[in-house]
Structure 1
C-alpha cells in the first residue's frame, strides 16, 4: 500500500501584472499606483516607480513603526514642551496638543493620521524608540524589510528634504503592511474621533467632502500629504471583492476644484470596480499535485492547497478561462531536504501569468536502502545473473586448465620412463 505525505502550501510568490497603462485614465496626479495587497498584483500603474516626495503620507510609516512597539493603546503619555514647541516654525500641521496633556497612544494615532499632527508623530517616535533619530532608523529598517527599495526617510512627519523620498509603489507596500494591523486599519478607515484630551479629529475624506463636496464612496480610508515640492498626495484603501487594494497618488496639481488627490483616488477606484473582478481558481484542500518519491519509504507526496488563492482579472474574462497549471517535476528522489522547492502552481488568464504559488518540501526525505533495492530489483537480478554466469565460465575455464595441466604432467612422466 502506498504511503502518502501531505505537503502544505508554504510560500506565495507573486508575479505582478499591470492591467492598464497610466495614460488610459485622466488624472491630476503625475504618479499613481494601485496595488492588490491580497494577490500582490499591480492593477494600475502611472509612473508608479518614479521618485517622488511623500510629504505627510510618511505618517503611514510613522504609525506603522510605532505600533510595533506599543503594547497598550490606552496607556497615557505626558506632553512636554519639546513635543510641541518646534512645529509652528517649521510650518508643520499639528494635532493641537498642549504641554501637560496626557493623551493615550490611541489618541496619538488618530492625531497623527487625521489632522496630520507633527506633534503626535514626534511623541509616538520619542516614546517608543527613545529618540527621533532611533525612530527614523526604525522606519528605514522597516522600509527595507517591506521591499521599499526606493525609499528613504529623514524625519517622522514628511517635511521636505531632498533625501526624504519614495515612490507610489513603495508607499503602497508600506500601507499594505500597516493595514494588516487591526489598530491601524481601525484608525485609517474611520471618519472622526474624540480624543480623551477633549479634542475632535476628522479624517481627510471627511474634511475634503465637507470643504469641497468631493467624495470617493469606494475609498475606505486615506492619508493625504502636501508640500510645495510634493504637491497633493494621497494614500488610500478600497475593497475589491474580498481583496484589499491600495491606491497611492502623488504630485497632483490643483485645478481650482479642490480635493484633486481624492478625485484621482475616486477615478481609479471606480475604474477598478467597474472593470475588474476577483476569481478564486484554487480552493483550500484542493489536491495540487501527487508527486512520486523514489529511494524512500514513502512512495508519493500529495501537495494540498492550504488556503483559497484568488486573483483579479478583467470582467470580460470568463471564470473558466482562468487556468491553473503545474510547473514542476512528476517525481522527486531521496535525499530531498526540508524547504527545498518541489514545484510551482501557476495561475494564468489568456496566456498571461497572474500568480505563482511555490510549494516546498516540509520534511527531510532520507534514502531507504530497502526501498532502493526494491525499486532496482530487476537491474539487480540481471546483474546477479551476469555475475553468476561469469563465475561459472571462470570456474569451467579453471577446470579445463587444470585438466590440461595434469595431462601434460602425465605425458612428461611417460617420456621419462
Structure 2
C-alpha cells in the first residue's frame, strides 16, 4: 500500500508544563525497600495505574501459581472482544458439557443451559466461576485451548516474561505461573476498559433471579465492601498458590493496583493489601493530564474518504508525586508514525504520547489511536477534492 501523506507534524511541539512529578531518581524518589507492608506473603507489588510507577515491591518477579488471578487475563480478553464487537453483552451462549464440568469455584452451569454474556461475565468477575470462564473462552476462541493461546500471545504483547498459562481458570496445572509484577501489568491493561469495574465492584447479586435454580453471587474479594475505593479485581486460592489477590482502588482521582501472592490466610491477604493501599493514598497523589479518548492531534489524510481523523489517547495520562513535593517541569511530546497505510481501523495505534522530566527522561508513554476508521477515498471523492483544491 502507498505511504500516506501526513500533514500533521511527525514530532508534535514540546510543551513545558509546571507539573509535580517524579524527576530523576534520587534518595527521596526511590522505592523504600525497607518498608515491609507485605510480611505475610511470598511476593507483592504496588503500582500507580496511569503511570505504572512502582511504589513498593517484594519478590515481584518470582514465578508463582496465580490460581484464579489467572482470570485477570481472561477478563482482559473478554473485555477486548466486547470492545471489538466480537461478542455482545446481550448475546446468549449455550453452555457446553465441558464448561459445565469445570470443578473448583463455579456458578453451577448445566450443559445445554443458555445464559447471556452479561450474566456469565458477572459469574467470572464476582464469583470467580470456572464454568463461566470456560463458556466465554469457548465462545470467543472456539475452544479453551485456542483461548489459552490467545492469553499467552497477549502476555507476549504486554512483554510479560515470567507468565505462562495452561488454562483460562487458574486450576492447578504444570507450567502455569505468573508473578506479582506481571499480574499488575495485566491489571493495568484490563483497567483501560473502565466498564470492567461495573462488574468487579459488585459485592452481591443474583443469577437466574426468580427462577427455581436462582444463584446468589457473593464477591470473593471482600475488600470491595470493607475498603473504601476498592472496586476490583480478582482473588485466587489453591493449596499450592495459597491466598492471592490482585486489587485496585481509586481515591482522589488516583488509581493504584496492589498484588499479593502466597498468603496463608484470607485475613493476612486482605491486611497486606490494605496496608499497601493505605501507603499509596497517604503518601502519593496524581495530576491528570489527559482523559482516555481525549483528542491530541489529527491526521490529515489526502487519500482517505475523510481528509481529517482525530487522534486520541488510548488511556488516561497522569503524573504522580509524593504529597508535599515541589513542582518540577515536564515536557509532553507526540511522536506520530511516519509510515501509515490505508485502511486504518478504529483503535489502531498511529503514534505515542511521551511525558518526560526536565532532564529528558521518559516518565510514561501512552499509545495514541485513531477515533474512527479511515478508508481509501473513492475516485469520485478524489476528483471532487482535486477540483476543490484547484478552485481554491
Residue number among 315, 323, 328 corresponding to 1:315 in the alignment: 323
Gaps in structure 2 of 5+ consecutive residues: 1-7, 15-21, 297-311, 341-350, 369-392
CA contact (8 A) 1:33 1:247 kept: yes
Q: How does 1:289-300 map to 2 (within 5 A)?
A: none
The match for 1:65 among 67, 74, 77 is 77
Partner of 2:155: 143
CA distance, structure 2, for counterparts of residue 180 and residue 342 of structure 1: 16
Structure 1 equivalent of residue 231 of structure 2: 220
Alignment of 1:120-135 (within 5 A): 120-135=132-147
Higher relative helix content: 1
Q: Once the two structures are superposed, what CA deviation does each residue of 1:369-412 show, in whole Å capped at 9, x if it has no partner? A: xxxxxxxxxxxxxxxxxxxxxxxxxxxxxxxxxxxxxxxxxxxx
Q: Which residue of 2 aligns with 1:324?
A: 330
Alignment counterpart, residue 231 of structure 1, candidates 230, 234, 242: 242
Where do 5+ consecutive residues of structure 1 fail to align? 210-214, 287-305, 328-335, 361-417
Shift of 1:93: 1.3
Is the contact made by 1:22 and 1:47 (CA closer than 8 Å) also made in structure 2? no
CA gap 1:285/1:104 in 2 versus in 1, 3 angstroms = closer
Q: Please, what TM-score do these two structures have when normalized by structure 2?
A: 0.68
Please say if 1:164 is aligned against 2:180. no
Alignment RMSD: 4.1
Q: How many residues matched?
A: 315
Q: Which residue of 1 aligns with 2:273?
A: 265
Matched, 1:193 2:199: no
Q: Which of residues 211, 220, 224 in structure 2 aligns to 1:204?
A: 220
Cα gap change, 1:121/1:183 in structure 2, threshold over 3 Å: closer, same or farther?
Answer: same
SS at match of 1:271: helix
Query: 1:374 maps to which residue?
Result: none
Q: Is the 8 A contact 1:136 1:153 kept in 2?
A: yes
The alignment partner of 2:93 has SS state of coil
Q: 76, 85, 109: which one pairs with 1:97?
A: 109
Deviations 1:215-264 (CA, angstroms, capped at 9, x unpaired) = 3224222311011221110011112432332111111123xxx4322221
Residue 43, structure 1, aligned to residue 51, structure 2:
no
C-alpha distance in 2, partners of 1:21/1:34? 12
Q: Distance in 2 between matches of 1:82 and 1:285?
A: 45
Larger Rg: 1
Counterpart-to-counterpart distance in 2, 1:139 and 1:285 = 31
The C-alpha deviation readout for 1:108-130, integer Å capped at 9, x for no partner, is 11111222111111111112211
Q: CA offsets per residue over residues 258-307 of structure 1, 9 Å max, x none?
A: 43222211110011111111246899999xxxxxxxxxxxxxxxxxxx88
> Could you tell me how far apart the structure 1 residues matched to 2:339 and 2:204 are?
50
* 1:347 correspondence with 2:357: yes
Structure with larger RCO (C-alpha < 8 A, sep 6+): 2
Once the two structures are TM-superposed, the CA of residue 337 in structure 1 deviates from its matched residue by 6.2
354 and 260 in structure 1: CA distance in 2 versus 1, 3 angstrom threshold: farther
- Going from structure 1 to structure 2, the CA distance change for 1:279 and 1:157 (only over 3 Å counts) comes to same
What displacement does 1:81 show?
Answer: 3.0
Distance 1:94 1:149 in 2: 30
